[in-house]
A and B are shown apart, each in its own frame.
Chain A
Amino acid sequence: MPVCIAGMHRSGTSMVARLLDLCGLSLGDEKDMLDGAEDNPEGYWEHKRFLSLNEQILQRFQGGWDIPPAFPPHWERLPELEDLRCEARSLLQTFPVGTPWGWKDPRSSLTLPFWQSLIPDLKVLAVVRNPLDVYASLRKRGRSTQTFALDLWLRYARAIEAAAGEGAFLITHYASFFDDPAQEIQRIAAFCGLDPSAEALAAASRAVSLDRRSTDSGLLDLLALDASSEVKAAYWRWCMEAGPVYETRLQQEMLAAGPAVQAVLQEMRGGGSEPPRFSARDAVGAQALETVLADPRRGLYEATIARQQARIASLLLWHEKDQAEIAGWKQRHQELAAHLQALQSGKAWALVSRLRRQRVRLAPPGSLRARIGSRLLTTARVFRREGFSGVARATVRVAVRRSASRRGKPACKAAAPPDELDSRPVAPMALLDHPPAPAGRPEQPSPPPGPAGDPVVLERSGRDGADTALRERIQAACGARPFVVVISHTSFLDHVGGIETVLRQEMDAFRQRDIAYLHLAPSPAPQIPDSPSLLTVSLDDTTLGEVEVSEVAAVLRQKGQARCRSALVHHTVFWPPSALDQVLEALGDCPRFFWIHDYYTVCHNFNLLRNDSTFCGAPDLHSNACLICRSGPGRKPHM
């Protein structure tokens, strides 16, 4: 009967395969075996054709060794796999009949049903190793978080358990080979139908790689960990079935641990774990429990548990109290909102509002009164349209954008410390509704952007296009000399960061050639729903103001196609796609350059960190890998 050596990766399956080979198990021709590597210098003992078939199976279901696919029911008999079945049958025929043979590939743990459908009498030898040691080994091999490693371990364990009931099955623990190699090798050899000679057994015992066993965590190390109770329960089940050598070790560990075993057992029972599916040996647990009950420190532990339970009850009370307080504040908020609405519907409020607007309009552009006033007016307008929630949303949008900048998103790759950001001279909301200069009033030139702290007066074309002066300035600038249009995510004159630094130096290089640098960035002001997108426009080192994207596109359409030398797209985050399309379409056929400063064009999570912890390597758009990432659901729409 053939044997499949299965188990999670980095669990010692290669070592077990090598030991069985020394005992006489045929694993195939040497030329068919995978070469060793740095992390497995003594070879993987994997047959290339089994490996290839397993990988093909996993790929057919959009998975891989590290992303176990979600197989549909009875997947192993699907007609789509017929080609793989044919290939597998031809592979199985290459092994001799009548002599024990087998193969090792951890991927087989996931594809066992496929092989069992082809080999009804297949034996499964599962190698188990402490998930903590598996994690340590995976981490050494590359980057792996503990959560990822433990979750993967559990998936492999479940897959093997699910398939185990179908035939002969034996669990061996990696640690057993270091405790009593001869006994454990004899046990697994017998399971494989081997009867090794004393010499072969001695050679196999000597071959156990003592030096490669870098970590040796105990069961209690895992149980003490703040990790999934399912992993703990599954490992517990496997340990109980891992044979007499491991049983001895387990017994010693439990006896040495004393009262901790009680907590362990409680966790096993309370953690939702099913009773061992295999023929569980309860002797160890029962004996350990008796030891615990007799332990004089038991009282101390019980008192600690009681204290913690009292603390939990107290916290729950506080929680209820907080909930009641929140409900009270909500009620108060509703009362105040109603009161405010009554006030605003009065004539006095309308008169005062009108006066306030006039004062703001008459104030010199850029003055404190103009800026604060326009901010208040904006807030009032948003409130009238959308109520408190609208104001809150607008405020949150500003906060989120600033926060994104500070988090090191592309908005500000190397942003200044918070105190510098907070001292930005112009409040974004103030820009939104800065009123046009009254008729007959001379246009005040925008002062050049000075060093940090100097006010930069931004202008904005009115919603009705009243500020034609600004549009004319852009028009004049585009018509006067050749220019390049540069698109990025922030106003590079006002922000600091890696990309902004590059843009400043790029601007200098163009200015030396007398080519104007027309820069467009999305306005940092909160966008009102259904209103046109606003762009912050700067020409060389002067910020011109904020203009609706349609107006920018109109100017570029008129002037751009003749004088625009290039369009340089540095970053598109915060850019509404329609606004970007409008600008690029307006530029006609001029050369376009698209910079890849980060991976924003591959995923909206621009640094490709799966759940902000591990580099994902940009898997295929339809990969299951995206299903386990917080950014996964948004990736397809983003692309």
Chain B
Amino acid sequence: MSRDIWAATYPALAHKVIVAPLYRLRETDMLNPRKLAPDRPIKIAFAGLSSIHKGWRDWRRIVHALQGRDYRFYHLGGKGPVEETAPAPEQFVSVSSRQNRDAMRQTLVDLEIDVVVSCSICPETFSIVTLEAHAAGCWIVTTEASGNVARYVRKNGCGKVFADVDELIAYLSDASLLATDLRAYQATRDRLAELVYNDGIVSQVYLAAETAPVSEQS
């Protein structure tokens, strides 16, 4: 989708666009610690910067709509410029990759986050937090508007894609359905993964180039 948008603006360069995944997931020896017990509330998180284009407003809609249910809400990442006029309804956990590149993935594992909401309102070209959530064994829920996030989730079967936030809220409102999906998904994720930079970009694109292509990542 991102490629199409760009190519529509620069049709003369469209044939030079290369879509290259920035990372791949490599399975580790670490066992998935999550065991969704009946008495344990489901943990739902927004990962990343609280900015409007990352879907922060929709996230807040979701949290408010699901108040009163047996869920725990978290915000992992950084605080953006969105003004807070009331106490945050979710628990904020500051996560920065300044000192530890793997901080987000580790925090998602440590807190045993079950569901990551990724509802960007503009099509993302790439989303590292989505990959980190996948690597950490989280179930990712997103909307069609998120572009390559939705595409990634659909391709890897690591979550669900909804037409819009209303549908997403309707899905999350049914705690038993969500728990069923989570158990089924967690059963397939015995071990956690880690992100590995796609070295092929350097070896097969940069250094193998005879000409100067235009590239896009996904």
Query: Which residues on A are within 8 Å of B, measured CB to CB?
Result: 139-140, 143, 403, 406-408, 413-418, 420, 451-452, 484, 496, 498, 501-502, 504-506, 508-510, 513, 565-566, 568, 591-599, 601-602, 607-609, 612-615, 617-618, 621
**Shortest CB–CB separation between residue A10 and chain B, in angstroms?**
15
Q: What are the residues of chain A within 8 A of B209 when measuring CB–CB?
A: 566, 591, 593
Which of B62-70, B78-86, B149-157 lies at the interface with chain A?
B78-86
Interface members, chain B 52-70 (any A CB < 8 Å): 52-54
User: With A414-B97, A420-B98 given, is the CB distance from A596 to B8 under 8 Å?
Assistant: no
B36 CB to closest chain A CB (Å) equals: 28
| B44 at the A interface (CB under 8 A) | no
A597 touches B126 (CB 8 A): yes
Bound form: Cα–Cα A591–B128 in Å: 27
Q: B77 contacts A406, CB within 8 Å? A: no
Give chain A residues whose Cβ lies under 8 Å from the Cβ of B17.
596
On whether the beta carbons of A484 and B54 are closer than 8 Å, the reply is no
- How far apart sit A593 and B18, CA to CA, in the bound complex (Å)? 10
CB closest chain-A residue, reference B50: A408
The residue from B10, B52, B127, B206 contacting A484, defined by CB atoms under 8 A apart: B206
Residue of B nearest to A500 (CB): B97
User: 5 more A-B contacts (CB under 8 A) besides A418-B79, A597-B126, A602-B5?
Assistant: A509-B202, A596-B6, A596-B215, A597-B217, A602-B9
- Listed residue (A414, A508, A613, A614) with the most chain B CB atoms within 10 angstroms of its CB: A414
Interface stretch of the complex, out of B26-34, B117-125, B169-177, B186-194: B117-125
What's the Cα separation between A513 and B201 when bound, in Å?
Answer: 13
Closest to A567 in B: B212
Please list 7 pairs of residues, one from A and one from B, whose beta carbons are closer than 8 Å in the complex, sorted by A's number. A408-B53, A416-B96, A496-B97, A591-B206, A593-B205, A597-B125, A599-B122
Does the CB pair A408–B54 fall under 8 Å?
yes
In the complex where A408-B54, A566-B206, A602-B6 touch, is A417 in contact with B96 (Cβ < 8 A)? yes
B159 at the interface (CB under 8 A from A): no
What residues on B are CB-neighbors of A618 within 8 Å? 5, 8-9
B residues sitting closer than 8 Å to A (CB atoms) are 2-3, 5-6, 8-10, 17, 22, 48-49, 51-54, 77-81, 94, 96-99, 101, 121-123, 125-129, 145, 164, 166, 197, 199, 201-202, 205-207, 209-217
A597, B123: Cα distance in complex, Å? 11
A565 close to B206 (CB less than 8 A): yes
Write out the residue numbers on chain A whose beta carbons fall within 8 Å of the beta carbon of B125.
596-598
Alpha-carbon separation in the docked complex, A484 to B205 (Å) = 13
CB distance from B110 to the nearest CB of A (A): 18
Given the known inter-chain contacts A452-B98, A596-B2, A618-B5, please indicate yes or no for A143 contacting B206, CB distance below 8 A: no
Contact A505 B126 (CB under 8 A): no
Report B-chain residues with C-beta under 8 Å of the C-beta of A597. Answer: 125-126, 217
- Count of A-B contacts judged by CB separation below 8 Å: 139
Output the least CB separation between A64 and chain B (Å): 15
Name the residue among B3, B123, B210 with the largest chain A CB count within 10 angstroms: B123
Contacts of A602 in B (CB 8 A): 5-6, 9
CA of A635 to CA of B214 in the docked complex: distance in angstroms?
A: 22
CA distance A420 to B128 in the complex (A): 21
Q: What is the chain A residue whose CB lies nearest that of B57?
A: A613
Q: How far is the CB of A491 from chain B (nearest CB, A)?
A: 13
Q: Are B53 and A607 in contact (CB under 8 A)?
A: yes
- Asked if A568 meets B206 with Cβ closer than 8 Å, knowing A501-B128, A608-B122, the reply is yes
A617's closest neighbor in chain B, by CB? B5
CB-based contact A451/B99 at 8 Å: yes
Cβ contact within 8 Å between B215 and A509: no
Q: A593-B205, A593-B206, A593-B209 are in contact. Are A408 and B80 (CB under 8 A)?
A: yes
If A407-B80, A452-B99, A566-B206 touch, whether A599 touches B6 (CB-CB below 8 Å) is yes
Chain B: minimal CB distance from A83 (Å) = 26
Q: Which residue of A lies closest to B53 (CB)?
A: A607
On whether A615 and B123 interact (CB within 8 A), knowing A143-B145, A414-B48, the answer reads yes
CA gap between A418 and B96 in the complex, in Å: 11
Q: Is the CB of B197 within 8 A of A505?
A: yes
With A408-B51, A591-B206, A597-B125 known as contacts, the answer to whether A506 contacts B197 (CB < 8 A) is yes
Contact B145 A615 (CB under 8 A): yes
Q: How far is A601 from B6 in the complex, measured between Cα atoms in Å?
A: 8
Distance A502 CA – B125 CA, assembled complex (angstroms): 13
Which of chain A's residues have a CB closer than 8 A to the CB of B79?
A: 417-418
Distance of B74 from chain A, by nearest CB (Å): 15
A416 & B207 in contact (Cβ 8 Å cutoff): no
**Top 8 A-B residue pairs of the complex, sorted by shortest distance between their CB atoms:** A408-B51, A505-B197, A592-B212, A591-B209, A607-B53, A596-B216, A416-B96, A607-B122
What is the CA–CA distance of A464 and B79 in the complex, to the nearest angstrom? 42
B54 surroundings in chain A (CB, below 8 A): 408
A621: shortest Cβ distance to chain B, in Å?
8
**How far does the Cβ of A16 sit from chain B's closest Cβ, in whole Å?**
27
The answer to whether B121 touches A508, judged by C-beta atoms less than 8 angstroms apart, is no
Chain A residue nearest in CB terms to B80: A408
* Residues in chain B near residue A505, CB distance under 8 A: 101, 197
Write the chain A residue with the least CB distance to B94: A417
CB distance from B15 to the nearest CB of A (A): 14
B215 proximity list for chain A (CB < 8 A): 593-596
Q: Distance (Å) between the CB of A488 and the closest chain B CB?
A: 14
Whole-angstrom distance between the Cβ of A413 and the nearest chain B Cβ: 7
Nearest CB of chain A from residue B166's CB, rounded to whole Å = 8
Which listed residue (B78, B127, B128) contacts A417, Cβ 8 A? B78
CB of B48 within 8 A of CB of A143, answer no
* A403, A416, A484, A613, most chain B CB atoms within 10 A: A416
Residues of B within 8 A of A417 (CB): 78-79, 94, 96
Across the interface, A406 reaches (CB within 8 A) one of B80, B97, B121, namely B80
**B96 touching A496 by the CB < 8 A rule?**
yes
Provide the bound-state CA to CA distance between A387 and B206, in Å: 48
The answer, among B52, B78, B211, B214, for a CB contact under 8 Å with A594, is: B214
Residues of chain A contacted by B211 (CB below 8 angstroms): 591
Instruction: Tell me the bound Cα distance from A135 to B215 in angstroms.
Output: 39
Contact of A416 among B9, B10, B78 (CB under 8 A): B78
**Nearest neighbor of A591 in chain B, beta-carbon distance:** B209
Whether B52 and A414, one on each chain, are in contact in the complex, defined by CB atoms closer than 8 angstroms, is no
Which A residues touch B217, using CB under 8 A?
595-597
| Contact present for B145 and A420 (CB under 8 Å) | no
User: How far, in whole Å, are A105 and B9 apart by their CA atoms in the complex?
Assistant: 30
Q: Are B197 and A496 in contact (CB under 8 A)?
A: no
CB distance from A155 to the nearest CB of B (A): 24
Neighbouring B residues of A596 by C-beta, 8 Å:
2-3, 6, 17, 125, 214-217
Residue of B nearest to A494 (CB): B98
Q: Are A414 and B128 touching (Cβ within 8 A)?
A: yes
Q: What's the least CB distance linking A13 to chain B, in Å?
A: 23
Q: Which residues of B contact A608 (CB under 8 A)?
A: 5, 122
Chain A residues contacting B94 (CB-CB under 8 Å) are 417
Check B201–A506 contact: CB distance below 8 A: yes
Residues of chain A within 8 A of B97, CB atoms compared? 414, 496, 501
Chain A residues in 8 Å Cβ range of B213? 593
